[in-house]
Amino acid sequence: MKIALVNDTHFGARGDSPIFNKYFFKFWEGTFFPYLKEHNISQICHLGDVVDRRKFINFVTLRSWRQRFFDVLQREDITMDVIVGNHDVFHKNTNEINALKELLSSYAFDVHTEATNITIDSCPILLVPWITLQNESHTMRMIEETKAQICMGHFEIAGFSMYRGMESHDGLSKDTFNKFDLVFSGHYHHRSSDGQIHYLGNPYELTWQDYNDPRGFHLFDTGTRRLDFIENPYRMFARLEYSDREKDPIDLDAYDLKGLYVKLIVVDKTDYYKFDTFIKKLYNKGCHEIKIIEDMSEFNDGEIGEEINLEDTLSVLSHYIDSIETDVDKEHVKTYMRTLYTEAVNIEV
């Protein structure tokens, strides 16, 4: 039997943004539900953070998710075991008051606030919700005593990437889970694995940190123990690089940017009329937001006293690349480094 694994759906994310809500349902209604129906999948395990904010939820958001997500599951006879994540609980030291109990009481879904042994298709599984001061001792005892070889939870485990390139150094030790053959977890939004512990990642892009980092959901086969990833084909963020010195400039007709957040990195802009024409065409693509990051070269020629003799960062990089003995096209490397530098100095903190 195959189980659909989802987590960190964050209903109501980005301040209950209707733009993001629309984007979320492109995935659920365009990919997730059709896939479940086509492959006769009738069991979901949701590994926490169903909602985005711990304290409250917008009524418009709640209505849309009731009608277009939870009602669909109920209507299609899809059962769901769901554990409480840290975003689902009101207090930080207990899972007792949580969004899932309050919002899903009218549905036949199984909501788990404490570590629980369940069995799906003769496969024993230990479900572990967010660990708090109140449930910590019970959780550790369940981990020690369970006969299950599969563990699914919402964990903070040291040594895994929270986001791509950002590793967590806090949390539980990997050794806590040595007894299990497989561990699946929500919480961190970047997909990663050490072969035993699998962080599944969230279904869609929420911030620029998620850009170009594949998202989607997973299928777990209880018989073969195989884990398959089904990628979300929809994106919320797009990054373009503009240079009027390129032989093949950006062909905007090849991009569907409607409703997207777009970041335009301007690497080289020597023909201002050509650039203005490009920008007008970009705005006509129907993007939700366009952020133009200009090249910093206009600051490179500032007058500095000869006695100071300082070099700007781009000049240092350029000279370093020139000094390296390599067969690689150095001008191409310089362009790439200039692009990275331009974006780095404009990072949103």
Show Cβ contacts of residue 62 under 8 Å, excluding neighbours closer than 6 positions: 103
pLDDT for 346: 59
Cβ neighbourhood burial of 341 (10 Å; 0-12, 13-18, 19+): middle
pLDDT for 349: 43
- The two tokens of residue 234 are 């929809």
Burial 233-254 (b: 16+ CB within 10 A, else e): ebbbbbbbbbbbeeeeebeeee
**CA 301 centroid distance within chain:** 40
Q: How many residues appear in the chain?
A: 349
Which amino acid makes up residue 148? A
Specify whether the CB–CB gap between 187 and 85 falls below 8 A: yes
pLDDT for 314: 67
- pTM exceeds 0.85, yes or no: no
pLDDT for 245: 82
Which amino acid makes up residue 69? F
**Strands in the chain per DSSP E:** 2-6, 43-46, 79-83, 110-112, 116-120, 123-128, 150-154, 161-163, 166-167, 182-186, 192-193, 197-199, 216-221, 227-231, 237-243, 261-268, 289-293
φ, ψ at 183 (rounded to 5°): -130, 130
Which parts of 54-177 fold into alpha helices (H)? Answer: 59-65, 71-75, 99-103, 136-145
pLDDT in tens, the chain (349 residues): 999 999 999 999 999 999 999 999 999 999 999 999 999 999 999 999 999 999 999 999 999 999 999 999 999 999 999 999 999 999 999 999 999 999 999 999 999 999 999 999 999 999 999 999 999 999 999 999 999 999 999 999 999 999 888 888 889 999 999 999 999 999 999 999 999 999 999 999 999 999 999 999 999 999 999 999 999 999 999 999 999 887 777 899 999 999 999 999 998 888 899 999 999 999 999 999 999 998 554 444 444 333 334 455 766 777 778 777 777 777 778 777 777 776 675 565 4
